[in-house]
């Protein structure tokens, strides 16, 4: 069977897999991403993953026809050049990730931002199937975003299109790493939840899953923190949805694991804010591909756009 390599590079782990054109993962595994060793560590990690997948494909009788990589930061152009290195992987600015992946794998390759490839994966084989216009928000430490219109990814000139986490939520608000202020991700992410929970009188140092467990037991600070973050996210997505009136708004990332705690206030604030027919047209759903969204999306990107 024809398969593509899908790679999902994070700050601590490199997830990788073999994926069919239908988005089925026939094999997957994980290695450390070795980001502390800089570009050489990242390259070694990618080589290890590609080598392991080539061996697995030979053994299982699959033919690798393309290789794709999703990673945080801004990636642009046919060489897959890293224009903005993410804070968790410093030192890879200027890395021609596409060219490198092509030479290591020996097949056509494509590289893009992790939320962008996740949006493509959800659009093709996930929650966005049958939805021509889709908005994806991956809510974790920050908020990643991807936009699909008419079945096509919206990237813009340098590949930064769809980064809804950096739309303005509070004028002159908290400072953001790229120099702006008041960005949505500072008020509606896992990081925001932890801060808001403390503001609401909750204990310091709690992780989102601990806060969720406390909310499930009815602790007031935890319930109110999730309510605030969910409403913030709903209002932020209302801004983006007003522009494109999506058929589906997909919520992915670690914070989506909180389920109704996040989704109920999100849906409520969204519907209260947007035009009636924006609300009527948009289904707000949990993203479907979960922690394999990066692998599947990267593989589908490679099948469709590999060079
Ligand atoms: Zn920002």
Question: What does the pLDDT look like over 222-239, one tens digit per residue?
Answer: 999 999 999 999 999 999
Q: Has residue 24 got a pLDDT over 90?
A: yes
Q: Has residue 123 got a pLDDT over 90?
A: yes
C-alpha 214 to ligand 1 mean position (Å): 30
C-alpha 160 to ligand 1 mean position (Å): 12
Query: Mean pLDDT throughout 86-113?
Result: 94
C-alpha 282 to ligand 1 mean position (Å): 25
C-alpha 20 to ligand 1 mean position (Å): 35
pLDDT score for 149 = 97
Domains of the chain: 2-119+292-305 (3.30.420.40), 129-287 (3.30.420.40)
Q: What does pLDDT average to over the chain? A: 96
pLDDT score for 85 = 87
Query: Mean pLDDT throughout 121-133?
Result: 98
pLDDT tens digits, 48-97: 999 999 999 999 999 999 999 999 999 999 999 999 988 888 889 999 99
C-alpha 140 to ligand 1 mean position (Å): 14
pLDDT above 90 as % of the chain: 96
C-alpha 164 to ligand 1 mean position (Å): 9
pLDDT score for 156 = 94
DSSP per-residue codes, the chain = -EEEEEEEE-SSEEEEEEEETT--EEEEEEEE--GGGHHHHHHHHHHHHHHHHHHHHHHHT-EEEEEEEEESSEEETTTTEEEE--TTSTT-TT-BHHHHHHHHHSSEEEEEEHHHHHHHHHHHHSTTTT-SSEEEEEESSSEEEEEEETTEE---TTS-TT-GGGSBSSTT-SB-TTS-BSBGGGTSSHHHHHHHHHHTTPPTT--HHHHHHHHHTT-HHHHHHHHHHHHHHHHHHHHHHHHH--SEEEEESGGGGGTHHHHHHHHHHHHHHS-HHHHHH-EEEE-SSGGGHHHHHHHHHHHHH--
pLDDT score for 34 = 94
280: Cβ–Cβ under 8 A, 6 or more apart, which residues? none
* Confidence band for 162, pLDDT divided at 50, 70 and 90: very high
Query: Mean pLDDT throughout 177-184?
Result: 96
pLDDT score for 88 = 80
Query: Mean pLDDT throughout 2-26?
Result: 97
pLDDT score for 161 = 94
Q: What is the phi-psi region of residue 32: left when phi exceeds 0, alpha when psi lies from -120 to 50, beta otherwise?
A: beta
pLDDT score for 165 = 97
pLDDT score for 174 = 98
pLDDT score for 262 = 98
pLDDT score for 89 = 86
The answer to whether the Cα torsion of 58, 43, 296, 210 is positive or negative is: positive
d(CA 64, CA 88): 30
- CB-CB contact of 244 with 231 (8 Å): no
Query: Mean pLDDT throughout 242-263?
Result: 97
Query: Mean pLDDT throughout 256-268?
Result: 97
pLDDT score for 86 = 84
C-alpha 75 to ligand 1 mean position (Å): 17
C-alpha 137 to ligand 1 mean position (Å): 14
Query: Mean pLDDT throughout 13-28?
Result: 98
d(CA 239, CA 243): 7
pLDDT score for 90 = 81
C-alpha 168 to ligand 1 mean position (Å): 8
pLDDT score for 138 = 97
pLDDT score for 207 = 97
* Confidence band for 197, pLDDT divided at 50, 70 and 90: very high
- CB-CB contact of 237 with 270 (8 Å): yes
């Amino acid at each position: 069977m024809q398969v593509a390599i899908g790679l999902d590079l994070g700050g601590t782990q490199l997830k990788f897999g073999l994926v069919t054109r239908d988005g089925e993962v026939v094999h997957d595994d994980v290695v450390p991403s070795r980001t502390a060793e800089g570009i050489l560590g990242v390259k070694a990690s990618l080589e290890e993953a590609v080598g392991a997948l080539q061996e697995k494909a030979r053994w299982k009788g699959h033919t690798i026809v393309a290789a794709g990589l999703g990673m945080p930061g801004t990636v642009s152009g046919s060489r897959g050049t890293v224009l903005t290195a993410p804070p968790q992987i410093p030192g890879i600015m200027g890395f021609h990730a596409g060219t490198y992946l092509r030479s290591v794998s020996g097949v056509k390759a494509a590289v893009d931002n992790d939320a962008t490839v996740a949006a493509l994966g959800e659009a093709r084989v996930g929650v966005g199937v049958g939805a021509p216009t889709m908005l994806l928000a991956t809510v974790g430490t920050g908020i990643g975003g991807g936009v699909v219109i008419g079945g096509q990814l919206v990237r813009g000139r340098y590949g930064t299109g769809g980064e809804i986490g950096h739309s303005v939520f509070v004028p002159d608000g908290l400072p953001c790493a790229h120099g702006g202020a008041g960005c949505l991700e500072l008020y509606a992410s896992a990081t925001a939840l932890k801060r808001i929970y403390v503001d609401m009188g909750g204990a310091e140092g709690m992780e989102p899953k601990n806060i969720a467990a406390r909310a499930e037991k009815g602790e007031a600070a935890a319930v109110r923190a999730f309510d605030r973050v969910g409403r913030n996210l709903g209002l932020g997505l209302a801004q983006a949805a007003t522009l494109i009136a999506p058929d589906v708004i997909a919520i992915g990332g670690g914070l989506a694991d909180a389920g109704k705690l996040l989704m109920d206030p999100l849906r409520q604030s969204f519907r209260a804010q947007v035009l009636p027919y924006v609300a009527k047209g948009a289904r707000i759903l949990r993203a479907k591909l979960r922690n394999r969204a990066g692998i599947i999306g990267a593989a589908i990107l490679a099948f469709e756009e590999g060079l």
